[in-house]
Structure 1
Amino acid sequence: MSASTRMTTPSDLDAYLGRIGWEGERRPDAHTLRGVHLAHLRAVPFENLDALGGTAPSLDLADLMAKLVHGRRRGGYCYEHNTLFAAALEALGFRVTRLAARVVVGADRFEDRPRTHMALLVEIPGDPRPYLADVGFGAIGSLLEPVPLTADTEFHDAGRRHRLVHVPHPGPLEMWVLEAYEGRGGPSQGGWVAQYAFTLEPFEQSDYEVINWHIATNPRSPFSRRPYVQFLTPDGHALLDGDRLTETRADGTVTERKLTDEAQVRRLLAEDFGIDVPEGLVLPG
């Protein structure tokens, strides 16, 4: 792994933990892993504004520190979030394997979706179970806390419900699928929805550089065509998709509204999401 993806000084880790507001222990244990994971999600928004402006964001750690940590008024998408998070975990003493997943929300066939999402497999010293961790999945079905890599077990992570299942796969490696429970109440009011599928094959920085460039610059990529921004709110989740804002409260209540002009979109990003829009970027509205 290139040095550009590792934190090389204690000050890097100090700055990162300060950015996410983590004041707890710095031990490579399950409590720290869950706490830092949730703190990251609460502090750093998911956003694709670089890609929307026609630029593939840098995955060099120094650039990520400048944008997501020291800048404090920007976020990023999965490769940025999880590259930064993996570096912080390794600095804390965890062992991290970078994975590539197929986003399968709404897919009829998993094989029709390419591997375009970065996720992490985290090993804790002395714990035989690795954990799936992911601070960069831009959907309400994302993990809020890491979950053990255990099949057919329901996990409640900071109020959300997830499970991992195996699905048939022609390759030599087992195919895992992260599922999220959508809806409240009994089976008639909700159900399990596949989020992404992955194997445990390690991926390298060079792989993500190629995928990152494709997702950011391909004119058919949704991230190159419209703003897609999400953030955890004190009472739930907020998502800006194009010019439509969707807010989901912890009790499952969903409200939607259409933003009327670019000024309103910019004001929302600045005031509610804590994001400074790059100079010269044109937003819908």
Structure 2
Amino acid sequence: MSGSPPPAGFDRERYLRRIGAATPARADLATLGALMRAHLHHVPFENLDVQLGQDPLVTVDEIFDKVVGQRRGGWCYEVNTLFGVLLADLGYAVTRLSGDVRRGGDAIERRGNHLCLRVDLDRPYLVDVGFGGSITAPVAIEPGTGVDGPYAIHLAHVGDDRWTFDEVVGEGASFGFDFTTGAADEGILDAMRSALAREDWSPFVQNLVMQLRRGDTHWTLRGRVLTRLTPQGKTKRLLASADEMAAVGQDIFGVTMPEVERLWRRAADRHDQLFGVG
């Protein structure tokens, strides 16, 4: 990725305006952190296209049009792809990494179900604007624990070139992914992106998800349930209509939700399936 010119449809200044950032004077660690926070503040994680049965976007031009032109968000394959192109265009040394999100212990069976980035400065850093917002600053790829309120984060070396990233809220269970620091096998990423967009076992096919991080506040819409998480605690709200879902999409996540009636019906049916009608 580093050193190659950006695709013809990529417009650096439009992208920076989309995330509310000025053209940086230098490609250093402080700037990288500021760009991550700006991106997370303005561009939500969302899987609305998957919920609507659309083919996943692959090219940078397609993703740019969605995120910048349509002012949408995206999942890791989209937003980390686009963010990586931006960083490379600004002069950062960027490598695409393959991650394996641990869901019920199935990381080995689901290789490549997450795309993240390595950025090399004084040392290699894990950079990720596509994991829903628990990482708001570059994380040095070395064993350690830190606080990125409302999350505690932990990075561990588990052998050879394999690492684990975990996020924890309070006394809750950890959630995270494994990754290797070498360049991703793009064929594995392509195959898993396609499967996650189509297969019944995919959590993205099963559930509508939107997430956004602003400062120490993390918002999640999962189906009908809107959750606000801060270092002080968690609140939840059950949405009651498609109009309410559209308002939440616009007012909290900054997205005009496509085909909101259809998205609402899918979310409501899934809620009934999981929790019963009522």
User: TM exceeds 0.5?
Assistant: yes
CA distance in 2, matches of 1:11, 1:222: 30
After TM superposition, the score normalised by the length of structure 1 is 0.83
**Aligned residue pairs: how many?**
265
1:54-102 deviation line (CA, Å, top 9, x unaligned): 1132121111111101222x11000001000000010011111111111
1:219-272 deviation line (CA, Å, top 9, x unaligned): 221211221011124550111111111111232x10112112223222211222
- Does the CA-based 8 Å contact 1:122-1:133 persist in structure 2? yes
Any gaps of 5 or more consecutive residues in structure 1?
184-189
After TM superposition, the score normalised by the length of structure 2 is 0.85
- 1:100 aligned partner: 98
- Does the CA-based 8 Å contact 1:145-1:158 persist in structure 2? no
Pair 194,233 (structure 1): closer, same or farther in 2 beyond 3 Å: closer
Query: Is residue 154 of structure 1 aligned with residue 150 of structure 2?
Result: no
More off after superposition, 16-25 vs 45-54: 16-25
Alignment of 1:26-175 (within 5 A): 26-72=25-71, 74-104=72-102, 107-108=104-105, 110-111=107-108, 113-124=110-121, 127=122, 129-138=123-132, 142-151=134-143, 153-157=144-148, 160-167=151-158, 173-175=160-162
Pair 9,103 (structure 1): closer, same or farther in 2 beyond 3 Å: same
1:192-229 deviation line (CA, Å, top 9, x unaligned): 72411112231154443322111111122121122101
3-state SS of 2:189 partner: helix
Any gaps of 5 or more consecutive residues in structure 2?
269-278
CA distance in 1, matches of 2:9, 2:49: 29
- 2:196 aligned partner: 215
Aligned AA for 2:37? L
More off after superposition, 36-45 vs 265-274: 265-274
CA distance in 1, matches of 2:11, 2:18: 11
More off after superposition, 227-236 vs 85-94: 227-236
Alignment of 1:157-196 (within 5 A): 157=148, 160-167=151-158, 173-183=160-170, 190=171, 193-196=174-177
- Does the CA-based 8 Å contact 2:249-2:255 persist in structure 1? yes
3-state SS of 1:115 partner: coil
3-state SS of 1:203 partner: coil
- Does the CA-based 8 Å contact 2:224-2:238 persist in structure 1? yes
3-state SS of 1:239 partner: strand
Pair 219,147 (structure 1): closer, same or farther in 2 beyond 3 Å: same
CA RMSD of aligned residues (A): 2.7
- 2:274 aligned partner: none
3-state SS of 2:24 partner: coil
**1:23 CA drift (Å):** 2.0
- 2:226 aligned partner: 245
Pair 159,224 (structure 1): closer, same or farther in 2 beyond 3 Å: closer
Pair 234,161 (structure 1): closer, same or farther in 2 beyond 3 Å: closer
CA distance in 2, matches of 1:85, 1:204: 19
CA distance in 1, matches of 2:29, 2:62: 29
CA distance in 2, matches of 1:254, 1:11: 38
**1:144 CA drift (Å):** 1.0
